[in-house]
Structure 1
Amino acid sequence: MGAPAKRLERCPLCGTEFDAEGQGCRPSCPLAKGCRVICCPSCTYSFPQETGLAGRLRGFLDRRRAEKDRP
């Protein structure tokens, strides 16, 4: 078995696509453990990571958009 596929996130503010692994917002925050808030490495905008049904739906829509954009 290979390494799990990286889950890319897209910043809703600046549009930068990045690997969310290790992009937790503020490690000094007392709620940081288990927190789903991530920070964009480009603009530092904080937003909740989509998980569960919302995350799967977003992934599906992103894949469909990528397939549609292919020549």
Structure 2
Amino acid sequence: MPAVVDRNERCPLCGLEFSAEGQGCRPSCPMSKGCKVLCCPGCGYSFPQETGLAGRLRQLFDRMKKERGVTP
């Protein structure tokens, strides 16, 4: 079971929005099972995926921004 949750993410470095599916830790990494690190397909920057309460709050705020038409 992959540790990365399939949802849209935004790279904190380049701002690219992408689907987290298939962008998780590389299978060759010994820590790949349970790893929540994402790799941006645009710039290659690796960052942890927010999960739990922080992830749900981020989704809520992103949804509210989208509904109001605010761009980051």
TM-score (normalizing by structure 1): 0.85
Q: 1:44 Cα shift?
A: 0.4
| Structure 1 gap segments, 5+ residues each | 1-5
CA distance in 1: counterparts of 2:23 and 2:14, whole angstroms? 16
Counterpart residue type for residue 35 of structure 2: C
Structure having the higher Rg: 1
Divergent runs of 4+, >3 A: none
| Structure 2 gap segments, 5+ residues each | 1-5
Q: Relative contact order (alpha carbons < 8 A, sep ≥ 6): 1 or 2 greater? A: 2
Q: Percent identity?
A: 71
Match of 2:16 in 1: 16
Match of 1:3 in 2: none
TM-score (normalizing by structure 2): 0.84
Q: CA RMSD in A?
A: 1.3
User: Superposed, which structure 2 residues align to 1:1-71 within 5 Å?
Assistant: 7-69=7-69
Q: 1:68 Cα shift?
A: 1.0
SS at match of 1:28: coil
